[in-house]
Structure 1
Amino acid sequence: MDIRESVGNHTHVSLLLAKHLFSNKSKDANIVFSPASIHPVLGLITAGSKGPTLDQLLTFLKSKTTEEINSLSSQLVTLVFGDGGSLGGPRLSFVNGVWVDQSLSLKPAFKEIVATAYKAAASHVDFQTKAVEVTKEVNLWAEKETSGLIKEILPSDSVDCSTRLIFANAVYFKGDWDQKFDASSTKDSDFFLLNGSSVQVPFMTSEERQYIRAFSSFKVLGLPYKQGEDKLKVGAFSIPKFKISFGFEASEVLKGLGLVLPFSGDGLTEMVDSPTGQDLYVSSIFHKSFIEVNEEGTEAAAATAGVVMLCSFVIEDELDFVADHPFLFVVREDTTGVLLFIGQIDNPLLG
């Protein structure tokens, strides 16, 4: 399977998660999450699974084999997540981490996958007597790898003496607009909420040509980071500034979508070289994301942690584009089409 087909499967899963999150959110809530951060954690769990659990994970991830998932992860690290900041492009970092209890050793095949496909080093820690310290270590790792934007990926009570492994990912993105907005032109205007009321929010405006496509019931705007052609002339053009944080227990969403076996205490037998491997299960997968969009560009970050425990879009006419009502947004890597972040803004004033 080539990378474009694999990315197509990745996008399918990403949009499935987005649909579930958006349809089950509370009213007037803003959402942002990073499917690119969740996928590697699921990939590592898949690589350590066998039997019905492995089959269910592969089906959910739209893959035929574990090797397809590992290959995608390896190619994304190399092709997509190479930091382009030094070349004048967006700064993008993508890091995986694995923590394993000091009493256990990873199976050689799994250790090889962790190191080669996911570029992660396995740290041996003492979960059994120092669970609080390990929690702090993982949270500090996430904070460092997201430039301080995600300060706590693991809740204080999520790791205890029965924890045996943690798989984590951190993504950081910072890109300047190809054509920055003039901050002196930013003015407050009405943003119309779903309930019919409105709030005053700061809108950024521009007279530059933009990437816009119009469909029968919606419009799509593309704001590139330091690249691109095929721009269209716009009439009225304004989009709101916003800054939001969002966190959720991804494991609960995954269960709601039918992925249940990894959380049931059976099938995670290919991770550690010990009889203990027969009794491992994923207790929780936590995810947090942050994004800020302003006149300069976009800064975003996400972290995901899975805790494994021992069982107990061509228009030539001038178009208006005024985002004065709830909208969806994505941050996408255009070389492959990988969706880095997906979100929904119901009220730009809500953080």
Structure 2
Amino acid sequence: AQTSFASGVWVDRMLALKPEFTAIAASRYNATAESVDFVSEAEHARQRVNAFVADATNKQILEVLPPGSVDSRTAVVLANALYFKGAWTQPFDVSTAPFHIPGGTTVRVPSMTTSESQHIAVYPGFRALKLPYKNDVQQQAEFYMLILLPDRDTVTLADLYDKAVSTPEFIKTHTPTGKVPVGQFMVPKFKFTSKFEASSDMRKLGVTRAFEGGDFSGMMTGGEGLSINGVYHKATIEVDEVGTVAATATAIVEFGSAGPGHGVDFVADRPFLFAVVEEGTDAVLFLGHVANPLAH
């Protein structure tokens, strides 16, 4: 698997980042820092940030900052990007299978199939599938995709989401450890992009001062009274019979002022949750859900 992480800070040329902040950003996060002219060349600065993200994500995300997100009042932009590409340890066959999307409609989608044993476990209300990624390099981190499939009419997708984000050990404790023979097996191929502005969600989580005249004096000269104007997040993922390509980017703009068995089925023909996880640390790189594999 290939992974890369990049961070950057773009500050208006009328301000200056403090050496302590620059040193920490470089040593801990390998972040780059640039001086730009937001006052007279805001659009050029926006394009520089987007170019940085595009390069860090191997062109999977071309625009994290939308038009109008940066203007002459912008003081600083912070951005980070994560890129992941992994191939399955064993590629899958492909066939067309039905998938039941919310609202009662059924669509036919290209799907991954196999008769080989898989890492599957059955839990009350849902079942889990672990799909390891190939790792050809020793000393390199190992990754896997975890798919959690709710049973019909028992556990909802929202229930699984809540457990995954509120219980730190949930992903780890519900990751299958051993292979079992499969009966029916189907996981749809999917590809989609998600983007949103996260300010309101952060406020709901209690992060309020930073949006209402916070104190960023530890970051830059003149940092008192700056406030976050926007938090832009964009993610893309593609899963097929060969493997996964995924990327995510976030930019912040601040303005001045189952047990063993035989033939265990895993048929993901309805909405499911997925996560890309690092094996050694249990760190979740990506978390999302598929409601319609045909919707990009």
> Fold conserved (TM > 0.5)?
yes
Mapped pair 1:337 → 2:282: yes
Matched, 1:91 2:6: no
* Map 1:117-136 → 2, pairs under 5 A: 117-136=28-47
Structure 1: state its 5+ residue gaps. 1-89
Q: Partner letter of residue 280 of structure 1?
A: L
SS of the equivalent of 1:128 reads coil
Per-residue deviation, residues 70-103 of structure 1 (Å, max 9, x unmatched): xxxxxxxxxxxxxxxxxxxx01000111111112
Aligned length: 255
Question: Match of 1:294?
Answer: 240
1:151 matches 2:62 = yes
Residue type of the alignment partner of 2:210: P
Residue 144 of structure 1 aligns to a residue in which SS?
A: helix
Q: What is the TM-score when the length of structure 2 is the normalising length?
A: 0.83
Q: Give unpaired runs (5+ residues) of structure 2.
A: 136-141, 143-176
Trace 1:123-202 onto structure 2 (pairs within 5 A): 123-182=34-93, 186-202=94-110
Partner Cα separation in structure 2 for residue 102 and residue 139 of structure 1 = 19
How much has 1:242 moved relative to structure 2?
Answer: 0.4
- Residues 5-56 of structure 1 show CA distances to partners (whole Å, capped at 9, x for unaligned) of xxxxxxxxxxxxxxxxxxxxxxxxxxxxxxxxxxxxxxxxxxxxxxxxxxxx
Q: 1:329 deviation in Å? A: 0.2
Higher strand share: 2
Once the two structures are TM-superposed, the CA of residue 305 in structure 1 deviates from its matched residue by 0.4
What's the secondary structure of 1:138's corresponding residue?
helix
Cα shift at 1:266: 2.1
- What amino acid does structure 2 have at the position aligned with 1:315? G
Which SS does the other structure have where 2:20 is aligned? helix
Equivalent of residue 327 in structure 1, options 259, 267, 272? 272
Q: Name the amino acid aligned to 2:77.
A: I
**What is the match of residue 208 of structure 2?**
260
Task: Give CA deviations for 1:183-234 in whole Å, capped at 9, x if unaligned.
Answer: xxx2222111222221111111011111111101100100000269732111
Does the CA contact (< 8 Å) of 2:272 and 2:290 recur in 1? yes
**In the aligned structure 2, how far is the partner of 1:343 from the partner of 1:266?**
31
In the alignment, the residues of structure 1 paired with residue 121 and residue 91 of structure 2 have an alpha-carbon distance, to the nearest angstrom, of 20
Aligned AA for 1:137?
Answer: R
Alpha-carbon shift at residue 263 of structure 1 (Å): 0.8
Corresponding position: 1:280 with 2:226: yes
Q: In the aligned structure 1, how far is the partner of 2:224 from the partner of 2:54?
A: 33
Cα distance in 1, alignment partners of residues 116 and 85 from structure 2: 22
Match for 1:300: what amino acid?
A: A
Q: Identity percentage over the alignment?
A: 43
Deviation at 1:122, TM superposition (A): 0.8
- 1:286 maps to amino acid: Y
CA distance in 2, matches of 1:255, 1:289: 21
Whichever residue aligns with residue 303 of structure 1, its letter is A
Q: State whether structure 2 residue 124 is matched by structure 1 residue 216.
A: yes
Aligned position for 1:235? 183
Asked if 1:315 is matched to 2:259, the reply is: yes
Q: Which has the higher helix share?
A: 1
Letter in 1 for 2:61: I
TM-score (norm 1): 0.70
User: For 1:282 and 1:122, how far apart are their aligned partners in 2?
Assistant: 18
Distance 1:233 1:320 in 2: 9
Distance in 1 between residues matched to 2:209 and 2:122, nearest whole Å: 42
Partner of 2:251: 305
Which runs of structure 2 are paired with 1:27-106 in the superposition (5 Å)? 90-106=1-17
> Aligned Cα RMSD in Å?
1.4
CA displacement, residues 131-167 of structure 1 (integer Å, 9 cap, x when unaligned) = 0100011111111111111111001101111111111
Counterpart code for 1:133? H
Greater displacement, 254-263 / 315-324: 254-263
CA contact (8 A) 2:120 2:178 kept: no
